[in-house]
Amino acid sequence: MAVPALTPGIYEHYKGKKYFVLGLSRNTETNEVCVVYRPLYETDWPQLVHRNAEMFFEQVTVDGKTMPRFRLLG
């Protein structure tokens, strides 16, 4: 997968929670590219998390409507 350009900032997950996206990282062992972000809500888990870029940028279908898994808020 070619990784699209990533703009750091506030993104909304399709389920409604918001996250601050910091940027991309690369696993030095596997070369997998991930998006690094932190939740903008209270959690009991680590403040920085990551998701593989392929999944971050993919489209999901909910109730017959296709949308991005995460969308950049203006």
In this structure, is residue 49 part of a structural domain? yes
User: Residue 4 is which amino acid?
Assistant: P
The structural domain count of the chain equals 1
Give me the pLDDT at residue 1, please.
Answer: 63
Q: What is the 3-state secondary structure (H, E, C) of 5-39?
A: CCCCEEEEECCCCEEEEEEEEECCCCCCEEEEEEE
**Cα-flanking dihedrals φ and ψ of residue 54, to 5°?**
-60, -45
In this structure, is residue 55 part of a structural domain? yes
In this structure, is residue 2 part of a structural domain? no
In this structure, is residue 45 part of a structural domain? yes
In this structure, is residue 1 part of a structural domain? no
Give me the pLDDT at residue 17, please.
Answer: 96
Give me the pLDDT at residue 12, please.
Answer: 98
Give me the pLDDT at residue 4, please.
Answer: 73
Q: What is the pLDDT along the chain (74 residues), one digit of tens a residue?
A: 677 789 999 999 999 999 999 999 999 999 999 999 999 999 888 799 999 999 999 999 999 999 999 999 97
User: Residue 63 is which amino acid?
Assistant: D
Give the whole-angstrom CA distance, residue 36 versus residue 27: 12
CATH number of the structural domain spanning residue 48:
2.30.30.320
- Domain housing 15: 9-72
